[in-house]
Structure 1
């Protein structure tokens, strides 16, 4: 485990008799993944009770918003307000905005990457395929493949356990699967399973490896049922 950097420190002035407060991000990394942590310190004469809002967005995608608190921050004590999983090598970068509120009023706002105050532009989704589109023909050489877009050790375990248990329903063709891991507040992450880029299941990863294996087996069953239903209706979705 290694510390990367302290990315941003915001100084906030309080009315007397309070003095100042600091709110900042730092990152902690291990291999390709890590944690983005939001901290606060102040030198007021009494504890402050704050709430927070975290906005996360991957380039081109819609943003996700999470709220938390209240958190009591004692005077002159560095206090961890929130943390979230951070991908360090994604092809599409992430943007984070962290807001801190005191008595309902905005106290501070910080961003990661530093200095990027605006989210990435949202890329419009592609229009649906025309009628008569042949997904099986278009899938071609990637028919039946399972793509891995996980990042953390637990995410990679989910993919490995899923792949080990995976077996396509008999007679079903013209599809591929993508297993994607996305960060979630609290240091955990979400797993999304897509069939031909259509999301069919999302789950928050547990911290216990044995539960990850159970979730992977559950995901296999859900995707198999989905594919069987689509095959029976002769409406396998395009990618």
Structure 2
């Protein structure tokens, strides 16, 4: 970071049942350059969808009003707050002034529910992407989609990709490159099964059944 550049102010929404990597991927990308506010209704410990606890550092009332980035993660718990007026009002308020309003995975559905993706191109987890049409967004099959100041990432691991895209816009390509190098983000997955086309119908069917069962478990 250049000496004359102030730290970014970033608000990252928390909620029960969020996917931890949705949050931690971009949080790690931004951490050297930002004051990061992990935001929820209270500061009580929140359990992610794998059971790991996360401590909010700010509430909807104490989160800075003017943010460089307002970020929303996805997760199985997202369905439970799709109609939560307190959450949606918070997102709409901070987004009105934020420089960038990004999401990863099904977090784009929460942005949509808050009225923030109507008329925008956007992406999401492959299993949730088509749901964007119900909110007036245009679903795009891509790892990262940039439409004006809305930047959406695909499922889970795409949070690292979109984080680097946003960081480059706010602090330059070199900042993003050094962060990528420091994280040794140079993926070589052991299997070619990271998207439905490559995974094949049988694995896709198993994945859909698994995700449906997890969502039911967390809801119950």
Q: TM-score, normalised by structure 2?
A: 0.24
Would you tell me which structure has more strand in proportion to its own residues?
A: 1
Tell me which of the two structures has the higher relative contact order, counting C-alpha pairs closer than 8 angstroms and 6 or more residues apart. 2
Highest CA radius of gyration, 1 or 2? 1
Q: TM-score, normalised by structure 1?
A: 0.22
Would you tell me which structure has more helix in proportion to its own residues?
A: 2
